[in-house]
Amino acid sequence: MENSLLLQPMVALILWTMLIWLWMYVTRIPAMNKAKIDSANLVGGKGGDLDELLPPEVQWKAHNYNHLLTEPTLFYAICVVLILSGQDYGLNLTIAWVYVGLRVLHSLVQVTINRVLFRFMLFSLSSLCIIALAIHAAIAVFH
Binding residues (CB under 8 A) for other proteins: these are: 1, 3-4, 7-8, 10-12, 14-15, 17-18, 21, 39-46, 66, 69, 72-73, 76, 80, 83
Q: What are phi and psi of 13, to 5 degrees?
A: -70, -30
d(CA 116, CA 97): 23
CB of 80 to other proteins, least distance (A): 5
Q: Which amino acid is at 81?
A: V
CB of 71 to other proteins, least distance (A): 11
Q: Of the two residues 104 and 117, which places its CB atom closer to other proteins in the complex?
A: 104
Q: Of the two residues 11 and 113, which places its CB atom closer to other proteins in the complex?
A: 11
8 A C-beta contact, residue 59 and residue 50: yes
CB of 116 to other proteins, least distance (A): 22
Q: Of the two residues 94 and 115, which places its CB atom closer to other proteins in the complex?
A: 94
d(CA 71, CA 118): 18
Query: Residue 77 half-sphere exposure, CB side, CA atoms within 13 Å?
Result: 10
